[in-house]
Structure 1
Amino acid sequence: MASTSDTQRPARSLGTLLLAGAALATTQLLAVRELVSALFGEEVVILLVTATLFAAISFGYWLAPRMRRFGRAGQIAFVAGCLLHLTLPVLPRHAFAWLAAHGWNGTAPLFVAIVLAVVLLAPLSTLLPRAVASYADPVQGMRWSYTAELVGFLLGLGLTQPCFGHGIEVLLALHWTLLALVAGLALGTRALAVVAVPAMLLWPSLAARSRAASNALYRDVHGMRSADVVFSVDSPYQRVEVVDSGAGRRSLYLDGLENLNAGDLALLNEYLAVVPARLARPSSTLVIGNGTLSLVAPLGALSNELLTVEIDPVVIAAGERFFSPNAGRANLSWKLALGDGKSFLASTNQSFDLVVVDVPSPLTFQEAFLHTREFYALVRSRLTPRGVVSVQLSGHRLGALERSPSRVTAALAAELPEVLVVESVVADRAFAYASSNLPFHADDVRAFAPPSETQLVVIDPETVRARTGGAHPLDIDSLDLVLRRGLERLIDRRASGGGDG
């Protein structure tokens, strides 16, 4: 990079950093989504991936002065690094699938993730220290160069927003364009052509190749006999995928974690929503979550007013298309609100006879908040005097005091004194119904159990208090459970050979 005086701001150098910052933003988004979904999306995985990305950028800063010594070889290495981005997302997915298929389930996937992060981020991150070094005054150089890259990074974040809700090929079209422009500004038109021409040749087949790589990932990493990823779209919050795995089995995956499968959906909905609705006979019902909209039809028939609050429009799109076609369109009493459940509860003046919380297990901090005492305090504030909240307990039974079901139950009991727990064998889950004044009893729940349920366990509020009295309620100051459970699952997968754990 050519030398410049302290008072001049070379447009080419600053333009390169501006575009490099934007490319770093798109690279980080792509890397996080690919690595998190491939390694399963618990909070501990997210933290590991994030730390790896920052380390990769730091490695690029360390590498920058050393690349200058290699002259043209360093330039070739930079272009080669840009070309490796053209393998996204196909090569990483096939790499993780190959490792799983050959039994490399220990630390090998983590090692591949580290290498991938370094290869993707280090070349781009070399541009900033090289630009700073070109100034006679390092302070002046840092001021202008860092500002240009930071503005570019923010620009990149803004440019990614319209890409959400579409296939990954849309985001990669933006990303590859930025890379080609960076290469062109940094090294000239020949470098631009070396990156741009292969990108244009590869892009038309990207959707098909991406789907084939996803199929391999789910087949080998998740241990499926067959896998067909019929829907894969990134939202602002997560990667949303629908996977058909043979024999009529269709599953919804969020960041690589199975959220539900269609075969279990009927029983899940029965205990989570239909049973408490039949017993409580609500006039107004609130559903938080349930992006598949599978509760609209059954609850719409059991409630005069039904409101669903879901934060992710992509989950709703997947739900309407693959799990609940035409859900709610004929139900005039149903309304859908796009937004965060916490914010809705804090801002609404409405009261509800039944609140159904249908959200993922507490494997990330964001999800875990929807299982905390603070969240249930918000729910309580919007319940009618005999209103009921229904939740699934992220486990098969109450279990040990330090496990999720007991701690979530304790959080409920801290705000709503009457908590009734249902342990279903056929649904393979435990559920809780909580209220300040529960309008039904354990025998009522047993009477409404599905005919297939022959070993249903219903635990009355007094017994629930006795069994969970020593459990620490899950709250925002004690979310260590999220990291501990995620680490346990990560270790179990490495030891057992993968799968959904």
Structure 2
Amino acid sequence: MLLQIRIKPGRFTLILASVAVILAGLSLIADYIVEVDYRDSDAVWLRLVDLFSVNLEQSIPTWFSTILLFVAAVILMLIALMKWQQQDAYRKHWLGLTFIFLYLSIDEGAVIHEVASDPLTQLFNTTGYLYFGWQILFVPLVLIFALAYIGFIMRLPPRSRLGFVGAGVVYVAGAVLIEGISANELFIANDVYTLRYLATATVEELLEMLGIVLFIYALLDYVVRTNGQALFSNVDAQQIVDINSITTRESTTNSDWFTQQIARLRAYRYAQRILLFIASANAIIIQWLALREATVIVHYPEFIIVSMVGLFFVGSILASLFAARFRRLISSQIGLVALILQLTMPLWFRLMTIAFDNLGMSPVGNIIAVGLVLLLTTGFYSLWLPLLIHTTGLRTFVIQMVGMALGVALLFLFTRWGYCPLVVAYTVIVLFVLLIKGTSTTWLMRISLVVTVWLWFLPAINQWSTGIWLQHFRTVSVDTTVLFSDYSLRQKVDVVQDTSGNRYLFQNGINTFDGENSRWQNILMGRIPASIIQPENVLVIGAGSMQMELMMAHYAQHVTTLEPDPMVASVSRDLFASYNLIDTLENRTVFVSDSNAFLASDDTNYGLIAVNLPDIYDLQTSALNTTTFFELIRSRLTEEGVLVINLTQILTPDHIMSRRLAASLLAVFDDILVVNTGETSYAFASQNLPIVASDMQLALQAAGRTDFGIFEMNAVKALVGEAQPIASIADWLHLLTIRQ
């Protein structure tokens, strides 16, 4: 009896793609739990959680990738046998693909390529994007494969050719492009597995899995269309429309090649899914831009994120319930208007907040401005995305989620070069979507010309509007020059200079270096404790201007700076060299890395560790406020090593956050000293504190400071009162609801 396997290619690959996306999402959660929340724990359950990490070789996602590659190899083998019986001219190519995917399956499970990685790394001394030595071997092999199979690819039916090439592009994008980015992340972090590296590696593995899934779909579809129903049977091959036989609504007498191609593309049966996929990626990009801009005005990132999520789900539900009505309202013309407003968002958003403040409506005006940004970005896409496709269900949801995963990948890729390249990528995608949706090519060419001019002047406009906003809200002088203004993946970074040559650093609109005030902070956190302790090794977490490190370098043998944001580290090197003299001092090292990951892997004992948080309410640095992090710091201090930290508030009974932060220090360290200034409080914590109140008083007076108060252990306990330590990020999130 002839065995027939009945498979619907679309449904089968949809299930595989869904599993891949779910595993990638679980991997991100698992990596965060294992590498951040419970980094130093050896609990057995953490090993089970880690089994879902795509970055672990012996894990469920790795097993799934191995199975995917093996399934592709089996299908290729069946096709090769069929071609061999038919004496097909390219039967050897099919057989070659079978062995290639069989090897890739074995390699995925046995990690053979890692064997060659270390010798190649040592031989060529690879760094940066080629830090993984095996890439040196992989890239030429891909080029050789492309040359060997170009004739084979060109002889495939157009639909299969598109599927094969598309799957290859997605797979190689993950295996080469994103892999290179993750390699560079690991190199910069000095082989420390930071959360940024793990997230990038997760995107890479997801693209590889999706590339294989697309290839499996292309293979199954090829078998069906070449009358291979003896192997796979799903639907009548004659019922499926080939792209070559598509007729369009455009005039058949139109001889313009470009117009014909656009018409064919619009009529392509999968055009709606393609639009949903790339538009979902764009939704992530524009929402990230909105988040970065909004959190400069309103320092409530958690509120913005929750608002975005809630608004997106509400909009999606409304779009599903009233699809017909919304399709009439949200036309291509509305899409063009939305694009213009989105591209000009930084300009009108900043000017709007200034106008509201001039009218005495600053709090309400900020809420209105942020609300408009959310409606224009999250609200617009929540309504628009469901309208790009006429069907609903699991398939639509998966396409949308995979597209959003692509958006995250684009963020990791483009934010390394700043704001403008990301905006260009976003604009190109929007124009493509509008083109396929039927917008007149004449209008699109006109709007493209206008947009190109705008993007050309965007860097200058961004700096000008930033300067206007800083002059209004941050008391920067009118004649101040904006030297730098851009977005990193974490925050907005601005550097300005006044007429006297003084430079100021702003992170998310917060002034983290402003000359004299910051100098006093650096003296208190850097020079004074370093001069008293005379440590061998010093660690500073948070670069800022790196002036503090300069003050410490005169008293310590070596000073290490740890900065999680590469843009801040670069700005500090390039624009604050006169403040930190980093190029002239030999006992300085700068690492761009996640703090938890660095401390967990570093075996250096430090006599002094300084933690300077620009904003205690910042979601991204929340882990640095917990007892877990302080315990990690304690394990890296010498016997009389000292942790000095900016409490970001004055320690008084009225400030619950500074009290709970001090309570966290009391729960971990045996001795604490707190210095209150007119602006904030600074805590000095140790198991055996070598700094006494009298020494601190003399040092402050010698530095010219008189407005201060010093509290020793018992006085600190009295100020803390019944406040509880911040044991986890969950505790920190709870505190956000009672900000004081």
Is this a same-fold pair by TM over 0.5? yes
Which of residues 589, 593, 616 is equivalent to 1:339?
593
Cα contact 2:525–2:610 (8 A) shared by 1: yes
1:115 and 2:379 aligned: no
Cα contact 2:419–2:488 (8 A) shared by 1: no
Q: How far has the Cα of 1:322 moved from its partner?
A: 3.1
Structural mapping, 1:163-182, within 5 Å: 163-182=414-433
Cα contact 1:60–1:122 (8 A) shared by 2: no
Distance 1:250 1:173, change over 3 A: same
**Which residue pairs with 1:214 in the alignment?**
466
Q: Distance in 2 between matches of 1:49 and 1:244?
A: 35
Q: Distance in 1 between matches of 2:323 and 2:459?
A: 35
Which of residues 383, 394, 399 is equivalent to 2:637?
383
Q: How far has the Cα of 1:46 moved from its partner?
A: 4.7
Distance 1:482 1:310, change over 3 A: farther
**Which residue pairs with 1:102 in the alignment?**
359
1:206-263 CA distance string (max 9 Å, x none): 1222222222322334455525432112111111112346766643222222333222
Structural mapping, 1:46-445, within 5 Å: 46-48=305-307, 51-52=310-311, 55=314, 61=320, 64-69=323-328, 74-133=331-390, 135=391, 138-139=392-393, 142-143=394-395, 145-190=396-441, 192-222=444-474, 224=476, 226=478, 228-244=481-497, 250-325=503-578, 327-396=581-650, 398-400=651-653, 403-425=656-678, 428-445=679-696
Distance 1:68 1:55, change over 3 A: closer
SS state at 1:331 partner:
coil
**Which residue pairs with 1:28 in the alignment?**
287
Q: Which structure's residues are more often strand, by fraction?
A: 1
SS state at 2:437 partner:
helix
Structure 2 gaps, min length 5: 1-237, 242-267
Q: Distance in 1 between matches of 2:350 and 2:417?
A: 19
SS state at 1:182 partner:
helix
1:390-432 CA distance string (max 9 Å, x none): 1122123x2016523322222111111110111234xx33211
1:295-334 CA distance string (max 9 Å, x none): 2222111111222111111111222233344633232222
Q: How far has the Cα of 1:203 moved from its partner?
A: 1.7
Cα contact 1:407–1:472 (8 A) shared by 2: yes
Cα contact 1:311–1:340 (8 A) shared by 2: yes
Cα contact 1:390–1:432 (8 A) shared by 2: yes
Q: How far has the Cα of 1:67 moved from its partner?
A: 3.0
**Which residue pairs with 2:101 in the alignment?**
none
Higher relative contact order (CA 8 A, sep 6+): 1
1:158-181 CA distance string (max 9 Å, x none): 223232244422221111111111
SS state at 2:731 partner:
coil
1:19 and 2:272 aligned: no
Q: Distance in 1 between matches of 2:475 and 2:364?
A: 18
SS state at 2:459 partner:
helix
Cα contact 1:183–1:195 (8 A) shared by 2: no
Matched AA of 1:308: T
Distance 1:252 1:481, change over 3 A: farther
Q: Distance in 2 between matches of 1:220 and 1:50?
A: 31
Cα contact 2:351–2:465 (8 A) shared by 1: yes
SS state at 1:164 partner:
helix
Q: Distance in 1 between matches of 2:498 and 2:301?
A: 22
SS state at 1:213 partner:
helix
Deviates further, 60-69 or 230-239: 60-69
Structure 1 gaps, min length 5: 489-501
**Structure-2-length-normalised TM-score:** 0.59
Distance 1:64 1:32, change over 3 A: farther
Cα contact 1:22–1:156 (8 A) shared by 2: yes
Q: Distance in 2 between matches of 1:247 and 1:56?
A: 51
SS state at 1:438 partner:
coil
Matched AA of 2:614: P
1:468 and 2:468 aligned: no
User: CA RMSD for the aligned pairs?
Assistant: 2.8
Cα contact 2:332–2:439 (8 A) shared by 1: no
Deviates further, 54-63 or 369-378: 54-63
Q: Which structure's residues are more often helix, by fraction?
A: 2
Distance 1:459 1:80, change over 3 A: closer
SS state at 2:634 partner:
helix
Matched AA of 2:605: S
**Which residue pairs with 1:498 in the alignment?**
none
Deviates further, 365-374 or 318-327: 318-327
SS state at 2:436 partner:
helix
1:166-199 CA distance string (max 9 Å, x none): 4422221111111111100111452533542321
Distance 1:403 1:123, change over 3 A: closer
SS state at 2:353 partner:
helix
Q: Which has the larger radius of gyration?
A: 2
Cα contact 2:319–2:326 (8 A) shared by 1: no
SS state at 2:363 partner:
coil
**Structure-1-length-normalised TM-score:** 0.85
Q: Distance in 2 between matches of 1:46 and 1:257?
A: 19
Number of equivalences: 472
